Structure 1
Amino acid sequence: MQKLIILLLISLGWIFNYSHRMAVPSLAPLIREDLHITNAEIGLLMTSLLLPYALIQVPAGYIGDKIGRKKLLILSILGYSISSAFIVLTRDYWDMLIVRFIYGVFAGLYYAPATALISEAFKERKGSALGFFMIGPAIGTGITPLIVVPIALTFNWRLSFLVLSLLSSIVAVLLAFAVRGEVSKPEVARFSIPRTVFLLSLANFLGLGAFFALLTFLVSYLVSQGASLEKASAMFSMLSMVGILGSISAGFLYDRIGKVSVSLAFIMNALFTFLILIWPNPILLIPLGFFLYSVGGIITAYTSEKAGKENLGVVMGFVNMVGFFGATLGPYVVGRLIDITGYRKALLLIPLAYLTSALLIFLDMGHRHRQPSSLRPGLSEGPFEV
């Protein structure tokens, strides 16, 4: 029962971690009009949080392994909630960039200790548990327009961030008092990264770049195709809500067929992102949402198999760090291309990136990976090959 409570609370923290960051895409048309900025500058509002988010991943994994993962998760939630609330005080574009940068630092402390904790707690069922955890992006992204758009249209778009901050702060308090003691802390923390994660990291770089570029500009793309902001936001939420089923289903699938599921997810994302660009029919958002959010849990479970207990947080952080370098570049590059070529041509980069990620995973599966030392008999404390 204790493990299920932990999984639920950590997943709630992850939901709001995404909700804060995805408030900008949901409100992009309003922010762009109010601050008189371009699509490229909207992309930079994502980049400004994703760059520090990426850089903090490996240190977060090591710090969580060293001091305790629950402590770091509470600090992360409180930090990203308070920093995001300061958007209420911003008055121009540069203020927004600074606040989003600070938010990115605290938000970046979350993923590595959370996934390491879940992988350790659930072990053989980690695919299913991580699949449940990774509903965070889908729910967080999906509920965000439902919360922030009505507040923005009724009052002010800045006030939306304050409401999100109040909600996420409650999760930190619950995690602090409902879960007693430290949950997951290895006896020995080791700062080492195996070579076997490099192809996987590159696939994650392209996959997350495509994912965040799509989420950043999907509402704007739908508006450009004639949808109202309210209708586009509703479709955006539908995409994410379907993603909940995709994330959970993919977790169970990984427990049964393993790493093959990662390549399959990337291939299906390539197919459906391409189809929605050549035929922008709302019905395609259903399969797109299912596969779009299926990647997170299974790629996280695959990553955990490349680490031992002593460096699990570090490896989780490294693969996610490289992925978020891609997430940092993706929105800006695609936003810049939209300003130059228009939505459809620019957004074709997204299915191309997903297809390349699938090929990289196929190559990775073809290699015989060295087993982590902590899994080899007689070498429980030996280091990874670096």
Structure 2
Amino acid sequence: MTIETVEGLSFPKRETTLLSFVSAAHFISHVHIMVVPALIPLLPGYFGVSFLQIGVALTVFNLVSLVVQTPMGFITDRVGAWTMLILALTLGGASFGSLALIPSYGWLLAAMVLAGVANGIYHPADYALLSASIGERRLGKAFSIHTFAGFFGTAVTPAVLLAVANQMSTGSACALAGIASVTVALVILGAAPRRAEPGKSGVVAKPTSHRLKDVATPQVMLLTLLFVLLSLSSIGISAFAVTALIKGYGADLPSASSALTAFLFAGACGVLAGGFLADRLHHHGVVASIAMVIAAMLTLAIAITHLSGLPLIFAMAGAGFLAGVITPSRDLLVRAASPRGAEGRVFGIVSTGFNIGGAIGPILFAWLVDHGYYQAVFGVTALFMVLTAALTFLPVFEKRQAA
């Protein structure tokens, strides 16, 4: 039965199938992002190098992703999102799986280059498929499910890979990451829709132009800045909150870890809630602004009040939930700024903001921690949240998708 219910908000079977495939791919992309960070305690011994050299490999991965993401958006709009998504899964799977066979540092660097290329494909391909395939009234919910799948991949990867490495070997953990990716690629290759009307199966409408200047509009550039700010605020808490709470607030490791876990888990739940909210409200910039302002207030409260115990956990959970709520609205803003048929390249452009923030944030927050400015970790994060709210409140983000 294809008749939609609940005023058009339930997914037809065709959309459910497509959303499942795209979300599975996004889950794998976040698994791959976490492979090296999750296994960092074991990788120096596995490759016979220092921690600094492993850090260089991570830098290579992020820089390559930054460089290729926008070109991959253009290629996605030309050759098709399904083709590119299968390529990303296969290339990423081969990159990480090969580390089980070639445990040399030189090959690690080469594998990170290839994995970085694969990582640069996911966002343009995923969002092009969702934008062209999901009904307008269900798009926010679809974005939230897709994003939640990525959050879930981030959450489960460290525990799973470390367990495999401890029970078997580091190479086996790398192999698992590769096998999982190739398996998803094969399933999509065999079952994903290949032909259908534009806007109904993921066959992206033919763009009117392939020139960068036609899609790199001021609105798209502002959205790229928005992604930079979101990345910076996320890094501040996810990577440095535990250190700041222990060294600056006197928290013990279990308490600090519990607070961070609350932030991450609540963020994933917030993404799902934000999807339902985005489908029922039309002013997505306003939704994002309000959520981010409240998240900033909670984060600032952590900075200046020295919360501990349950109050700290609740404050972190609240900030995480609200930061997650804005994610579907953020994605709908990008979609609205994309000319029809150019969703892949626009998402490719704005997603470079994540990589830019990922390059700047660790240096900034590490400097604060090294100099003993522990409260500033939360204070600066709150500042980035306020800047995000101010940016999303601009009237330019209320425009509809260009024809």
CA distance in structure 1 between the aligned counterparts of 2:238 and 2:168, rounded to whole angstroms = 24
Residues 248 and 356 of structure 1: CA distance in aligned 2, closer, same or farther (over 3 Å): same
CA distance in structure 1 between the aligned counterparts of 2:145 and 2:360, rounded to whole angstroms = 28
2:78 pairs with 1:72: no
1:325-384 CA distance string (max 9 Å, x none): 22232234333543444655445432222221112222x23x48766551xxxxxxxxxx
CA distance in structure 2 between the aligned counterparts of 1:220 and 1:86, rounded to whole angstroms = 34
Which among 186, 200, 220 is matched to residue 197 of structure 1? 220
CA distance in structure 2 between the aligned counterparts of 1:135 and 1:309, rounded to whole angstroms = 25
1:360 match: 391
C-alpha deviation, 1:120, in angstroms: 1.6
1:383 match: none
Deviates more, 1:66-75 or 1:335-344: 335-344
CA distance in structure 1 between the aligned counterparts of 2:287 and 2:264, rounded to whole angstroms = 20
- Listed as ranges, the matches of 1:1-386 within 5 Å are 1-28=13-40, 36-37=50-51, 46-88=58-100, 89-92=102-105, 96-122=108-134, 123-157=136-170, 159-182=172-195, 183-188=202-207, 190-191=209-210, 192-193=214-215, 194-217=217-240, 225-227=251-253, 239-257=263-281, 258-259=283-284, 260-276=286-302, 278-279=306-307, 281-341=312-372, 344-346=375-377, 348-362=379-393, 364-365=394-395, 367=396, 373-374=402-403
Residues 275 and 46 of structure 1: CA distance in aligned 2, closer, same or farther (over 3 Å): farther
C-alpha deviation, 1:77, in angstroms: 1.0
Mapped contact 1:117–1:184 kept (Cα < 8 A): yes
CA distance in structure 2 between the aligned counterparts of 1:100 and 1:292, rounded to whole angstroms = 30
C-alpha deviation, 1:178, in angstroms: 1.2
CA distance in structure 2 between the aligned counterparts of 1:289 and 1:310, rounded to whole angstroms = 33
Deviates more, 1:25-34 or 1:211-220: 25-34
Mapped contact 2:236–2:377 kept (Cα < 8 A): no
C-alpha deviation, 1:154, in angstroms: 4.0
Mapped contact 1:43–1:216 kept (Cα < 8 A): no
C-alpha deviation, 1:207, in angstroms: 1.0
How does the TM-score come out when normalised to structure 1?
0.82
Deviates more, 1:219-228 or 1:279-288: 219-228
Residues 345 and 42 of structure 1: CA distance in aligned 2, closer, same or farther (over 3 Å): farther
CA distance in structure 2 between the aligned counterparts of 1:87 and 1:338, rounded to whole angstroms = 33
Work out which structure has the larger RCO, using CA pairs closer than 8 Å and 6 or more positions apart in sequence. 1
- Look at both structures and tell me which one has the larger radius of gyration over its CA atoms: 2
Residues 97 and 354 of structure 1: CA distance in aligned 2, closer, same or farther (over 3 Å): farther
C-alpha deviation, 1:42, in angstroms: 7.2
C-alpha deviation, 1:299, in angstroms: 0.8
Residues 104 and 265 of structure 1: CA distance in aligned 2, closer, same or farther (over 3 Å): farther
Residues 293 and 83 of structure 1: CA distance in aligned 2, closer, same or farther (over 3 Å): farther
CA distance in structure 2 between the aligned counterparts of 1:269 and 1:99, rounded to whole angstroms = 38
Mapped contact 1:112–1:313 kept (Cα < 8 A): yes
C-alpha deviation, 1:263, in angstroms: 1.5
Residues 78 and 344 of structure 1: CA distance in aligned 2, closer, same or farther (over 3 Å): farther
Mapped contact 1:146–1:237 kept (Cα < 8 A): no
1:381 match: none
C-alpha deviation, 1:18, in angstroms: 0.9
2:10 match: none
Q: What amino acid sits opposite 1:327 in the alignment?
A: G
CA distance in structure 1 between the aligned counterparts of 2:234 and 2:174, rounded to whole angstroms = 22
Identity rate of aligned residues, in percent? 22
1:143-202 CA distance string (max 9 Å, x none): 123212323444545543322222222111111111131432223352322222222221
Q: What amino acid sits opposite 1:187 in the alignment?
A: K
CA distance in structure 1 between the aligned counterparts of 2:373 and 2:168, rounded to whole angstroms = 32
Number of residue pairs matched?
367
Deviates more, 1:126-135 or 1:44-53: 44-53
Gaps of 5+ in 2: 1-12, 196-201
Deviates more, 1:183-192 or 1:120-129: 183-192
C-alpha deviation, 1:135, in angstroms: 0.6
CA distance in structure 1 between the aligned counterparts of 2:300 and 2:172, rounded to whole angstroms = 36
Gaps of 5+ in 1: 375-386
Q: Secondary structure at the match of 1:252?
A: helix
Residues 335 and 234 of structure 1: CA distance in aligned 2, closer, same or farther (over 3 Å): same
Q: Secondary structure at the match of 1:5?
A: helix
1:218-266 CA distance string (max 9 Å, x none): 56667765326xx977775554443332111111212223321222333
1:379 match: none
CA RMSD of aligned residues (A): 3.2
